[in-house]
Each structure stands twice: as C-alpha cells, then as structure tokens.
C-alpha cells in the first residue's frame, strides 16, 4: 500500500526535475530552501500541536481549581473585573458565549483531536435558538489586556466606548480574549498574534451540502443552520484600506475604529484559513531564528536567493518560477515528513509507552497521583509478580493442615521472601 504512493511521488519528482533541468541555476536554490523549510515546518507544526494540547489541559486544570464559592467563582471574578468591561472568552466556553454550534461529534467522540475544540471551519448558528447570535461579532485578541500600558489595548478600550454611541457598531457584540491567560489555547489553534481583531459574520441562507464536512452532524436540521465565517485582522495594518482621509494619522485607535465602524471593511480580509495562519506564524518564527541571524546557513542561502532573483529571474521575467518551485517542494516535503517520519514515530512511541504503563499527558497534568517519578521496572515486573502471587496462593492451600516448627522455613515463606527482596531491589531503580 505504501509502495504505490511512493512510486507516484517519485515519478512526479523525476519529471518535475527533468522539465526544470534547463533552468537548474534558477530552480536549484528554491528546491533546497523548500526541502529545508518543509522539514522545519513539519517539526514546528508537530511541536505546536503538542504545545496547544498542554495549554488546553492546563487551562482545564485552572478551571477545576476555581474558588467554587456559592457567591462567585474565580472565573466569574475574572470575567467581571476587567479593564475593558466586556465579556471575555475562555478556551472552554468561547463558542457558547458567541452563540455558535459545534458538530455533535466533537462532544461525543473521545478520540477527536483537541484542536477541533477551537475549529473555526465548522461553526454554525441555530436560527431557532432563543439566544440567537447577531450577524456580526467582534473579538479582540490581547496579550495581557493592559490598556494603561499597551497602546493597542487602549485603542480597543476606546472602541468599546464608541460602541455606546448610536452607530452600526452599536448593533454588534464585542468580546475580548487574553493569549497569556484563559485563551492561550485559542490563540495557538487560531494562529493569531496579538494585537488582532477576529470578525465573525453569519450568512443569511441555509448551508449547502458542500458547506458541511462529511460525517458531521448538528443538533438541529440543516434548514435551521447558518454558516459562520471568521476573519483575522492583525495590527498594525499593512496595505489595508481604512477609509481615513490622508490628513489623519492612522494610529492604533484610528486603525481599530476604522475597521470596526467602517462599511464592511472587514470584507477585504480573506476568511480564516488554518494553513495560512500557520504559514504566517512559521515564517515569523523561522525568520527570527535563522534568516535574520547572521552566520546561519539559511541566512546565507536567503541572501544568495535574493541575488539570483535580482540578477537572473527579474531580467528574464521568471519571478514567479521561484515561488512555484519553492511552494511545490515545500508542500511535498512537509507531507512526506508527516506521513513517513512523524506519524510512525508518534505511533511507535505511544505504543511503547503504553506497554510500559507510562501515563498519558492528560493524566500527568490533570491527575494528582503522578507526582512521583515513574519507574518502568514496576510495570515490567507486573506479570512475574502476578505469577508469584498465584503460586503463593496454590502452595499455601496445599500446605494447609501441616505442622511446622517455628524455626522451619516453608516454601511459601521463601516465595514471600523473594518477592519482598525483589520489590526492595527495584525500589531504587531509576529510569
């Protein structure tokens, strides 16, 4: 089953290589960069999923450790006592506060990936709900929510105050979320970078069959559903139309109010896409770690690539060739690394750890019984110990009715001595 896809991939690579051979001086470097960045991206994305999982579990643990007082819980206190005076979104309740529906399978299937709890591609609105969400909603993504210190937080605070003035903004609902607090999981899954605005809009017509992913169902009929579209507006704005006159300096407050109060200015931003957001965050990461640091291999390769583009591709009118070759190589490398390296590695690793009895990540973070150091020898000795206990029971029953002197050592006592010495011998074993 694996050999056939490999042959197809090899044929595509071979013919692509042969067709681009005349342009080897131009395509060689994008190919190398595509392979290197594809490997980096696959590993980075894998680590990002693991990080989101840990963030989700720690946030659930914080919720479980709320005050739990009848008058007010710690979470209630956090939501009401904030500088923005609007409702905050947390990783565990964001969809319900916005009035959105997730597929029923997300609540029923225990094997669903954790990232799905923050999925923006499958959101729906139930038109029959008594608390139906408005057609437009705004969510401000903040790092710490400090309007007295951060200029963008102060700009959002001014936008909240403007919502009380009769305008189109007054007809929407406004929320905020903190990446460094109870919405860290959402910021990770959505791939957003504070400061940013998330805009949620609801279409007026029922979804088409293609709008609903195969195998997913909702708690109401399709005719009662409406598709939700999310968009990300990250600040500061770059090459975006704000509608501001040339005489107005587009500072933080002006940019944010222009987006929120403008006539559907949010339509100039594409709907949220998981790969696009991951691509943006990855290139920020790799530029900072490699391309912008003198002395790294990728920094030198990037400089050479810029020289080739300026002196060869532009004069020949082949500017797009670089991007096409890089994108194909990047996507192919990422796919191969995920399928043939990271996928099998995680499967083998988890199977081995399950065999040794190592607790899952959720059990370690949420449980209280895993503070002691894990000793795999105890799990490996589980079957021999069980066998010794069975033999001990059989010999004890066989020896019933016999008289032994106090100084006589029985077979049963030998087994007990061996078991106790074995346990004491493995107690100091460290993995």
pLDDT at 418: 37
Lowest mean pLDDT among 18-32, 68-82, 268-282: 18-32
* pLDDT, tens digit, 9 for 90 and up, residues 178-236: 999 889 999 999 999 999 999 999 998 999 888 898 889 999 999 999 999 999 999 99
- Higher-confidence residue: 220 or 69? 220
> Hey, CA dihedral for 271, 272, 273, 278, is it positive or negative?
positive
Q: Token digits for 331?
A: 């996507």
pLDDT tens track for 250-289: 999 999 999 998 889 999 999 999 999 999 999 898 888 7
Average pLDDT of every residue of the chain? 78
CATH architecture of the domain covering 84-272: 3-Layer(aba) Sandwich (3.40)
Could you write out the DSSP letters of every residue in 340-391? IIIHHHHHHHHHHHHHHTPPPHHHHHH-SS--SPP-HHHHHTHHHHHHHHHH
The domains of the chain are located at: 15-65+284-356, 84-272, 376-426
- What's the CA gap between 271 and 262, in Å, rounded? 18
- Residues listed for the chain: 431
Mean pLDDT lowest among 54-68, 307-321, 383-397:
383-397
- Beta-carbon contacts of 391 under 8 Å, excluding residues fewer than 6 positions away, are 415
Distances in Å between the Cα of 149 and the Cα atoms of 85, 156, 255, 289 are 17, 13, 18, 28
pLDDT-derived band at 370, boundaries 50, 70, 90: very low
What is the pLDDT, as a whole number, of residue 323?
75
**Based on the number of CB atoms within 10 Å of its own CB, is 267 exposed (0-12), middle (13-18) or buried (19 or more)?**
exposed
């Amino acid at each position: 089953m694996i050999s056939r896809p490999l042959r197809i991939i090899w044929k595509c690579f071979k013919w692509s290589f042969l067709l681009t051979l005349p342009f080897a001086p131009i395509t060689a470097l994008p190919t190398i960069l595509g392979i290197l960045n594809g490997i980096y991206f696959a590993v980075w994305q894998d680590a990002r999923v693991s990080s989101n999982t840990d963030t989700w579990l720690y946030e659930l643990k914080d919720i479980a450790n709320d005050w739990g007082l009848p008058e007010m819980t710690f979470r209630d206190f956090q939501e009401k006592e904030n500088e923005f005076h609007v409702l905050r979104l947390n990783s565990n309740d964001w969809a319900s506060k916005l009035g959105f529906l997730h597929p029923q399978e997300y609540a029923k299937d225990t094997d669903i990936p954790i990232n799905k709890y923050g999925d923006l591609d499958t959101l729906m609105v139930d038109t029959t709900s008594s608390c139906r969400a408005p057609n437009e909603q705004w969510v401000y993504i903040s790092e710490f929510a400090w309007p007295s210190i951060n200029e963008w937080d102060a700009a959002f605070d001014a936008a909240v105050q403007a919502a009380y003035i009769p305008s189109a903004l007054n007809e929407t609902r406004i929320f905020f979320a903190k990446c460094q607090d109870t919405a860290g999981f959402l910021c990770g899954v959505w791939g957003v970078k504070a400061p940013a605005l998330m805009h949620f809009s609801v279409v007026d017509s029922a979804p088409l069959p293609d709008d609903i992913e195969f195998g997913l169902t909702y708690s109401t009929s399709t005719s009662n559903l409406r598709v939700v579209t999310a968009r990300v507006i990250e600040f500061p704005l770059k090459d975006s139309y704000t509608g501001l006159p040339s005489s107005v300096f587009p500072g933080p407050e002006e940019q944010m109010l222009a987006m929120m109060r403008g006539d559907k200015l949010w339509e100039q931003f594409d709907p949220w896409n998981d790969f696009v957001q991951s691509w943006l965050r990855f290139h920020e990461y790799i530029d900072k770690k490699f391309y912008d640091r003198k002395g790294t291999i990728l920094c030198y390769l990037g400089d050479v690539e810029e020289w080739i583009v300026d002196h060869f591709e532009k004069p020949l009118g082949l500017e797009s060739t670089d991007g096409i070759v890089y994108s194909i190589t990047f996507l192919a490398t990422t796919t191969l690394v995920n399928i043939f390296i990271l996928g099998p590695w995680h499967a083998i690793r988890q199977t081995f750890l399950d065999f040794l009895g190592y607790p899952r990540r959720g059990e370690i973070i949420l449980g209280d019984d895993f503070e002691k150091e894990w000793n795999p020898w105890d799990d490996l000795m589980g079957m021999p110990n069980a066998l010794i206990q069975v033999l001990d029971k059989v010999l004890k029953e066989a020896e019933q009715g016999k008289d032994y002197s106090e100084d006589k050592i029985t077979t049963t006592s030998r087994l007990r001595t061996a078991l106790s010495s074995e346990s004491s011998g493995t107690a100091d074993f460290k993995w």
